[in-house]
Amino acid sequence: MAILAHHVEIQLFEVLHIAPETTLQHICFFAVTLPILAILGYGAWSLKRDLTAFLKSRRDTSSNFPAQA
């Protein structure tokens, strides 16, 4: 995740034409970027979890009904 955050940092600094010169500038940007990426990762994980549970419950309820001819 830190490598991805560093890539995002490089891309944003190039777009914004900001050249970080100090370690403090890098640390500040990481402090903002890492929580954002963590929240995105959690959102993707929870979407997968909920979708898997929904599909499993749907499959379980459809097997309770007899097949129609």
State how far the Cα of 30 lies from the Cα of 49, in Å rounded to an integer.
28
pLDDT tens, N- to C-terminus, the chain (69 residues): 566 666 776 776 666 666 667 888 888 878 888 888 899 899 999 999 999 999 998 887 765 656 565
pLDDT at 48: 96
Phi and psi at 30, nearest 5°, equal -60, -40
| Cα–Cα nearest to 10, from 22, 19, 23, 1 | 19
pLDDT at 26: 82
pLDDT at 28: 84
pLDDT at 49: 96
